[in-house]
């Protein structure tokens, strides 16, 4: 089983929010692939948490260092964006965005998961989950529907 975790799930894990324990359980495997897109989005999630006054800037810096350590150790695995990800994204936009209301980053994450050969998509984002399902991926957590 190949898993792809979107930023909503990874941010939950690192920000230790109410879903963190569930996130850990969903990430039963080490070496979760992360693209440069996911890395930027994850670091931005930390800064948004500072902006929203959910965490202090010092904690965001410490969490970024933890993420960098996880990248260095292989817990998170930097993975290049697949060559066909943008073609796949355009096809997803044409076939699903009008019906599902998918945002660009949602489309890019699902396209990346498909192109990386994932069969399970881990997310807490409902629209992204719907798009992943429409693309033939299993979606977890199950609370988002099956």
102, 127 Cβ separation under 8 angstroms? yes
**pLDDT tens digit string along 33-92?**
999 999 999 999 999 999 999 999 999 999 999 999 989 988 889 999 999 999 999 999
Enumerate the domain spans of the chain.
Answer: 3-144
79, 116 Cβ separation under 8 angstroms? yes
**pLDDT tens digit string along 14-28?**
887 777 677 666 666
pTM above 0.75, yes or no: yes
Pairing of strands 32-34, 76-78: parallel
Q: Which CATH class is domain 3-144?
A: alpha beta
pLDDT bracket for residue 2 (50, 70, 90) = confident
């Amino acid at each position: 089983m190949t898993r792809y975790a979107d930023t909503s799930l990874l941010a939950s894990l690192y920000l230790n929010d109410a879903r963190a324990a569930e996130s850990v359980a969903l990430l039963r495997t080490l070496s979760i692939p992360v693209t440069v897109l996911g890395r930027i989005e994850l670091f931005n999630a930390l800064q948004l948490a500072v902006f929203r006054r959910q965490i202090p800037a010092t904690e965001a810096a410490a969490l970024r260092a933890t993420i960098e350590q996880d990248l260095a150790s292989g817990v998170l695995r930097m993975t290049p964006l697949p060559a066909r990800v943008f073609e796949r994204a355009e096809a997803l936009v044409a076939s699903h965005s009008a019906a599902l209301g998918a945002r660009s980053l949602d489309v890019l994450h699902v396209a990346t998961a498909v192109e990386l050969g994932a069969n399970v998509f881990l997310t807490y984002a409902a629209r992204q989950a719907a798009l992943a399902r429409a693309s033939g991926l299993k979606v977890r957590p199950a609370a988002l529907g099956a």
